[in-house]
Chains A and B, each alone.
Chain A
Amino acid sequence: MIQLEQLTWKVSGRTILEGVTVAIPANTYAVLMGSTGCGKTTLLEILCGLRQPTSGRVLLDGVDVTDLEPRERGIGYVPQDLALFPGLRVREQIGFAPKLRGMAPEELKQRVNRLAEQFGITHLLDRLPDMLSGGEKQRVALARALAAQPKLLLLDEPLSALDESMRSEAVALLQRVQQEHSLTVLHVTHSSSEAAALGTLHLRMVAGRLEVA
């Protein structure tokens, strides 16, 4: 469960987020909508610890994580540009987090292969990010985030780079991933149809405040 309590973010005297308070129950697929520049990405960055809020608290399963580093929060984050690691092959991208935690090579291989199979990217394991299409990159970014076995997944407009034909397939993939991994997902989108297809909780950011739609 995610709880945000009176989160405020100010920069250069401008208030971007003001008293954001919301509770997202576990295993919920929450979608967040709002106009461009209203602070949606900032909210995700505060949630995963990349920014410190000016004031307020972030609680995950009742534990205050506001002052914890990103690596201590157990949150998966897929940014809008997907941010695959340049120079690392798909296999290394997916195995990044488990390897960092000292997973044994055989177990690491199994986890990478299992995720690659789940996302249909087994044939891409030896490719570099430059050799992947938009849809393939998106699958790799998701597999990389899930390899760390997060409790919560933050998705910042993950489907924006996909064309219409691939989008419905990606929506189905996200639904399946959320159910199979029992994840709590917070998904930022501009697309009403995407929100309608995926969301079980609909949030809207208006003038720095969060409203439950």
Chain B
Amino acid sequence: MRLNRSNLCWLVLALITAGYLLFWALLLGATATYSTPDSWLQVLRSPEIRHATFLSLVTCSLAASFALLLAVPVGYLMTRLEFRGKSWLDAALDIPIILPPLVVGLCLLIFFQTKIGKVIEMAIPLTYQVSGVVLAQFVVAAAFAIRTMRGTFQHLSARPEDVALTLGCTRFQALWHVALPAARRGMVAAFCIAWARSLGEFGPILVFAGATRMKTEVLPTTVWLELSVGNLEAAVAVSLFMVLLAVLVLVAVRATGEKV
């Protein structure tokens, strides 16, 4: 192949991409070779880490489920209805994505000290509780799930729903019988993205739910706790486990055909 200007351009762009991927490969490679598989297994078998793993799996699944329950109606509303101030609302829905994570945790902590917050806490105790971990994961994960569902509904034609309305559906029935079955791949993707986002959540959980061993400790908290006592091997083992989970989620999302 002759190296003309166009080919040279593609070559430079490919080198930039390869350089970035190589950097990530080196990062993960260095982490993976820091300790041996035997020591990873030993760390992952400890009761604290097994508890943190179990809690992470449960809270992430709950947070992602709640996020999806919110994302479907909000995503549908934002794509199918035109109304005044829609662009402002659209921007507001992205606020949790751009807020510093610690600020989200602080906002939660302060809100539950207000009168309304205390009334809610009387029904469901949240601050420094496992339910608080779910809420802290949910508030950020929901924004990502909403974004995914919005994209999904935008790609689906509204015409079949219009036809369903003429065939006797209410708007809710058109959503239930026509839009949702068509959006199921997007729903799986939104759930996976919310789940992965919840798995990596740390700042809001630390501030709002705390980092109490065998109580509110989830995997990112474990990494932080182990680092803070200088146990780098344990932090590495948990981090690699989280990388594995994240890769599995990425594969699941790609299998749905949706883009993250």
Contact = CB atoms under 8 A, between A and B. Distances in A.
Contact of A87 (B157, B166, B167, B181): B181
Interface residues of B, number: 19
A200 B166 CA distance: 25
Given A71-B170, A97-B168, A101-B168, A83 B162 contact: yes
A79 B161 CA distance: 12
A72 to B, nearest CB: 9
Nearest to A100: B168
- 9 pairs of A and B residues whose beta carbons are closest in the complex: A83-B159, A97-B167, A70-B165, A77-B166, A86-B182, A83-B160, A87-B181, A70-B166, A71-B168
B173 interface: yes
Interface string B46-79: 0000000000000000000000000000000000
A76 interface: yes
Contacts of A49: 165-166
Central interface residue in A70, A75, A96, A101, by most chain B CB within 10 Å: A70
Interface of B: 156-157, 159-160, 162-170, 173, 177-178, 181-182, 184
B162 A71 contact: no
A81 B168 contact: no
A148 B163 CA distance: 11
A77 B156 CA distance: 19
Where chain B touches its partner, the secondary structure class is helix
A48 B173 CA distance: 18
Interface of A: 45, 48-50, 69-71, 73, 75-79, 81, 83-88, 96-97, 100-101, 144-145, 148
Contacts of A144: 163, 167
Central interface residue in A83, A101, A145, by most chain B CB within 10 Å: A83
B157 A81 contact: yes
A77 B169 CA distance: 13
B167 A96 contact: yes
A73 B162 CA distance: 13
Nearest to A129: B160
A78 B159 CA distance: 10
A122 to B, nearest CB: 21
